[in-house]
Structure 1
Amino acid sequence: MELDLRNKTVIVTGAARGIGAVIAQRFAAEGARVTAFDLAFPEVPSPEGDEHASAHPVEQVVCNVTDPDSVRTAVDEVARRHGGIDVLVNNAGINMLGTVAELEWEQWRTCFDVNVGGVFLMSQAVAEHMKRAGSGRIINAASFAAIVPSVGSAAYAASKSAVVQLSRVLASELGPWDITVNAYAPGMVPTAMNGFAEMPTEAQDRLLDTLSLRRWESPDDVANLLIFLASDQASYLTGALLDISGGKLATQIPAVAHGR
């Protein structure tokens, strides 16, 4: 099965660093024309994407996904420059930790503005160009928190659950133009934000014990799924939430199978 993304025009949001940078570089390595959107870009390229650097450079566009004017200007410019947009990966997101009693209204609103509002605005802007082409792929970052939330993650879990339902509505609304819309739910990818890999061994073990595949998830694991969803091989897959968490809590105590 060949996943041919050569000369496809792809936008990845939140792609200045971390998982987003790897996703952008992986699409570029597949031969796609990739534009990374973010609020700002480091002067030194993100080290996460170094090993995936390819002959197809990733363009960088400063864009605030919570600002309708910023989104519209950036999307229209990419479409003008490349003749359209084939794939949108809504990767941009933030986390706001705190119990419901502790959270400030501004924290709650900011979390929804980025995680849900960003998906809404980007999808709305891109859909106009995809409709004209009669095809397209929109792929939205949800989270395992949308399946099973954690204490202290009310804002994040609620916003990511909203992304799942928004994706399903979009899938039906855009289906007449052969545009697919799917969401994906990563599990535990060590990042600077969550610090999983820097936790004490006992704390890491407690988290890893929840996984059927007892290892940390890598950005490449996520990118592999997104490349498939963006390909013609996934043309009949839409309105779905893909759980790519390594079988997190697939059973009550997955660690039993690992002899722990």
Structure 2
Amino acid sequence: MHIDLSSKRAIVSGSTAGIGLAIARGLAAAGAEVVINGRTQERVDEALHLLRESVPLAKVSGIAADLGDAAGVASFIQQAPDTDILVNNLGIFEPKGFFDIPDEDWLHVFEVNVMSGVRLARHYARGMSHRGWGRVLFLSSESALQIPTEMVHYGMSKTAQLAVSRGLAETLAGTGVTVNAILPGPTRSEGVGGFFAAMAQEQGVSVEQMERDFIAEHRPTSLIRRLATVDEVANMAVYLASEQASATTGAALRVDGGVLRSIA
């Protein structure tokens, strides 16, 4: 299968590192003109440098904006008014026991993880429908279906993304615009890597051992028995952004290494 996105423009939110950066790299390698996003210009510039090194002919640009609130999204849209492909990757997480999560943390996680995608999709999907072609992707998580007790607020936000994704897909039925969600499992991204590194240091073990222990204890149903790589998740996103995925919409596709014990 040859995926050619050379005539398409793509936006990837929260894409200066991890899964977002890998998706931006994959889209750029397929020929898309890609706009990346981060909260600071320094982070955006670093990511652009990495993209141009790994994909020498990449057509990439970046916008520094905090998409975790309405004002940040409005600023971003003003600088990038249209796109053919929208990847809602921005997300935050924080391990914290249910009884220790205050109201402000619940609201902040919802604002960043859910409302950033709602606001971006509300603007960009309208233009896609008028043009008769478009792709909207939400980076959810296996935690949407298997809520982690160590961060219920995060799981809640990922479940909400599935509802938004399916609802928007039905709203756009027959327009040529597809809307899908991706459910990664535990993935070796920058944020997760830092989380494991801190835990490993606290417990006096290697990061590799920490990752193995986490899978064995917290995700024992994993069939690959390891963390996924960011590129493995990005490959699914690039496919869903392509013309070849034109009959896939309203779906939640798993890249979870078999963690979820379900055949559907």
For 1:167-246, what aligned pairs fall within 5 Å after superposition? Answer: 167-195=165-193, 198=197, 199=200, 200=205, 202-209=209-216, 210=220, 211-246=222-257
Q: Using the alignment, how far apart are the partners of 1:50 and 1:57 within structure 2? A: 8
Task: Say if 2:92 is the partner of 1:90.
Answer: no
**Identity, % of aligned pairs?**
31
* Residue correspondences, number: 247
**Aligned partner letter, 1:206:** D
Counterpart contact for 1:213–1:247, Cα < 8 Å: yes
**Aligned partner letter, 1:53:** V
Provide, for residues 19-74 of structure 1, a one-character-per-residue CA deviation record: whole Å limited to 9, x for no partner.
Answer: 21221122111110000122114366248757633311320012232333432442
**Aligned partner letter, 1:145:** S
Task: Say if 2:140 is the partner of 1:142.
Answer: yes
**Aligned partner letter, 2:67:** V
- Equivalent residue of 1:194, what SS? helix
- The 3 A distance-change label for structure 1 pair 15 and 166 is same
Q: Using the alignment, how far apart are the partners of 1:189 and 1:87 within structure 2? A: 23
TM-score for the superposition, normalised by structure 1: 0.87
Counterpart contact for 2:166–2:251, Cα < 8 Å: yes
What's the CA shift for 1:176? 3.1
* Other-structure match for 1:119: 117
- The 3 A distance-change label for structure 1 pair 50 and 135 is closer
Q: Using the alignment, how far apart are the partners of 2:182 and 2:118 within structure 1? A: 16
- Equivalent residue of 1:75, what SS? helix
- Equivalent residue of 1:5, what SS? coil
Which has the higher mean CA deviation after the structures are superposed, 49-58 or 157-166? 49-58
Counterpart contact for 2:189–2:229, Cα < 8 Å: no
- Equivalent residue of 1:148, what SS? coil
* Other-structure match for 1:256: none
Q: Using the alignment, how far apart are the partners of 2:98 and 2:119 within structure 1? A: 27
Task: Say if 2:63 is the partner of 1:61.
Answer: yes
Counterpart contact for 1:26–1:52, Cα < 8 Å: no
- Equivalent residue of 2:192, what SS? coil
Provide, for residues 210-252 of structure 1, a one-character-per-residue CA deviation record: whole Å limited to 9, x for no partner.
Answer: 321123211110111011000111111111111101111438x
- The 3 A distance-change label for structure 1 pair 164 and 21 is same
* Other-structure match for 1:27: 27
* Other-structure match for 2:46: 45
Which has the higher mean CA deviation after the structures are superposed, 41-50 or 146-155? 41-50
- The 3 A distance-change label for structure 1 pair 204 and 74 is closer
Q: Using the alignment, how far apart are the partners of 1:235 and 1:163 within structure 2? A: 21
Q: Using the alignment, how far apart are the partners of 1:23 and 1:51 within structure 2? A: 15
Any stretches of 5+ residues in structure 2 without a counterpart? none
**Aligned partner letter, 2:105:** Q
Q: Using the alignment, how far apart are the partners of 1:63 and 1:174 within structure 2? A: 28
**Aligned partner letter, 1:166:** V
Q: Using the alignment, how far apart are the partners of 1:243 and 1:169 within structure 2? A: 19
Counterpart contact for 2:212–2:226, Cα < 8 Å: no
Any stretches of 5+ residues in structure 1 without a counterpart? 252-260
- Please tell me the root mean square deviation across aligned C-alpha atoms, in Å: 2.2
- Equivalent residue of 1:61, what SS? strand
Provide, for residues 139-197 of structure 1, a one-character-per-residue CA deviation record: whole Å limited to 9, x for no partner.
Answer: 00101111212212111000000000110000000123221110011111123422366
**Aligned partner letter, 2:104:** E
